[in-house]
Structure 1
Amino acid sequence: MAPAPRHGLARVLSKRGVCSRTEATRWIVDGRVSVDGRIIRDPEFPTVRDRHRIAVDGRDLDVTPRLYLMLNKPRGLVTSASDERGRDTVYRCLDGARLEGTSLPWLAPVGRLDKASEGLLLFCNDPEWAARITDPEHGPDKTYHVQVDAIPDVALLAALMDGADASGEHLRAKSARLLRVGEKNAWLEIVLDEGRNRQIRRLLEAFDIRVLRLVRVAIGDLALGDLAKGEWRVLTDEEMASLS
């Protein structure tokens, strides 16, 4: 039997969903992390994930509860733990958040929404679950409501599903339908079954159509519903299971 793989301690902490890798490095250097009862200050200390007993501030990681929540992301926030340009991030919505009288554990975004996009964004401290949600082949579909600066016809909707080449990638929508029409713009519902960077914006740009607003309204069967902008809630066990 091959020996269990060893990884740097900071990486193991981030993969356990405890914190970001950068924050893990800081905790380790500050002497807050122990392995088998011994304080370790080397972020690259070789560690076997499920063999060594790791604790932060004396608390064993094995007792850290898993948490899964959904946020209605407002426009203008960056999906990142920190931003080198000083822009507000989605963590602003979680500042001071508490659950059953205690602070939330560190949570990572599941996938991304770009700064100009809004809507349903998941968070969790379970990297394996997050990987299943974001898997480009087997993850759940994502549904978006998109306001565009044109009035698409049936032929264009079909073309969006056939797809277009952009920057060496073939981009397409699983489905596209017209929701409502104004004088100079319209709202579309676009469903994606794959995840690529700025996929909807790039796809529409290939047809000379500009996105005015983009709101993710569902991931799989989980709908944004009436969750207010900037608000969050914990997923139920049924919702969490349906996504994975």
Structure 2
Amino acid sequence: MRDPHHPTLIDRQQVAVDGQIVKSAECVHVAFNKPRGLIVSAADEQGRATVYTALAAAGLPWLGPVGRLDKASEGLLLLSNDTTWAAGITDPATHLDKTYHVQVAGQPDATALAMMQTGINDAGDLLKAKRVTLLRVGEKNAWLEVVLDEGRNRHIRRLLAALGFDVLRLIRVAIGPLTLGELAKGQWRRLSAGEVSALDTRKGKN
């Protein structure tokens, strides 16, 4: 059969090239603690370092990023070649929680925290957090825990800027039940089967 559009029944048929059976690629799921300054892209026209630069010596197959973190942000980033699994995580309809620890210049009061959860209209986008908690306050800055169940471009930075606060650091510490834990900055690890399953939004669906 030489028709590339011919359907294949994987449970009944095999695909071979030059007599060699083609097997499905192993699904790989990786957690990476992205340092600040890396681009989440396969290549950068300005020659800046990317997450793939950091993973170049890891011996991993090609993995796509599951969602994004901008250059100035850091923390938990998932990468995988399991495109269906990844699509479920990034699908806005799943409302999967993403948790961030955010250092801001200034000291947000209860009103500001409430407004973050009520929402701010910014250039036609309603930006809001599912939950905001004040973690600690210093003399000139504060740390917040911000939980999103949806994500727009530079969501947290824009939301806080609209309230008059500059973001000094933004660290993603969890995606759903998966936490960054003790994974060192710039290091990666494979997810366990249980962790992969816990993030599988297809469970319970036909």
When the two structures are superposed, what TM-score results if normalisation uses the length of structure 1? 0.75
Within 5 Å, which residues of 2 pair with 1:157-168? 157-168=113-124
Q: Which of the numbers 224, 228, 238 marks the counterpart of 2:180?
A: 224
Distance (Å, rounded) in 2 between the aligned partners of 1:125 and 1:112:
15
Distance (Å, rounded) in 2 between the aligned partners of 1:145 and 1:198:
15
Check 1:50–1:162 CA distance in 2 against 1; reply closer, same or farther (3 A cut): farther
Partner of 2:51: 90
Partner of 1:208: 164
Distance (Å, rounded) in 2 between the aligned partners of 1:49 and 1:76:
44
Q: Residue type of the partner of 1:152? A: P
| Greater RCO, CA 8 A, separation 6+ | 2
Residue identity over aligned pairs, in percent, reads 57
Partner of 2:64: 108
Check 1:199–1:123 CA distance in 2 against 1; reply closer, same or farther (3 A cut): same
Q: Secondary structure in 2 aligned to 1:203? A: helix
Structure 1 unaligned residues grouped into runs of 5+? 1-35, 39-44, 98-102
The answer to whether 1:81 aligns with 2:42 is yes
Partner of 1:29: none
Structure 2 unaligned residues grouped into runs of 5+? 201-206
Q: Secondary structure in 2 aligned to 1:106? A: coil
Partner of 2:109: 153
Distance (Å, rounded) in 2 between the aligned partners of 1:209 and 1:49:
55
Q: Shift of residue 81 of structure 1?
A: 0.7
Deviates more, 1:109-118 or 1:150-159: 150-159
Q: Shift of residue 59 of structure 1?
A: 7.4
Partner of 1:41: none
Q: Shift of residue 48 of structure 1?
A: 5.5
Partner of 1:142: 98
Deviation string, structure 1 residues 152-171 (Cα, Å, up to 9, x no partner): 11111110000101111101
Check 1:229–1:165 CA distance in 2 against 1; reply closer, same or farther (3 A cut): same
Higher helix share: 1
Deviation string, structure 1 residues 207-229 (Cα, Å, up to 9, x no partner): 11110000000000100001000
Distance (Å, rounded) in 2 between the aligned partners of 1:48 and 1:171:
45
Q: Shift of residue 63 of structure 1?
A: 3.2
RMSD between aligned residues: 1.9
Deviation string, structure 1 residues 23-75 (Cα, Å, up to 9, x no partner): xxxxxxxxxxxxx6x7xxxxxx96467569486xx772x33100001000000
Runs of 4 or more above 6 Å deviation? none
Q: Residue type of the partner of 1:235? A: L
**Are the equivalent residues in 2 in contact too, given 1:137–1:193 (CA < 8 A)?**
no
Q: Shift of residue 95 of structure 1?
A: 1.1
Within 5 Å, which residues of 2 pair with 1:29-68? 47=5, 50=8, 53=15, 60=22, 62-68=23-29
Distance (Å, rounded) in 1 between the aligned partners of 2:7 and 2:186:
35
Q: Which of the numbers 72, 79, 102 marks the counterpart of 2:33?
A: 72
When the two structures are superposed, what TM-score results if normalisation uses the length of structure 2? 0.88
**Are the equivalent residues in 2 in contact too, given 1:134–1:195 (CA < 8 A)?**
no
Q: Secondary structure in 1 aligned to 2:92? A: coil
Q: Secondary structure in 1 aligned to 2:94? A: coil
Aligned positions, number: 194
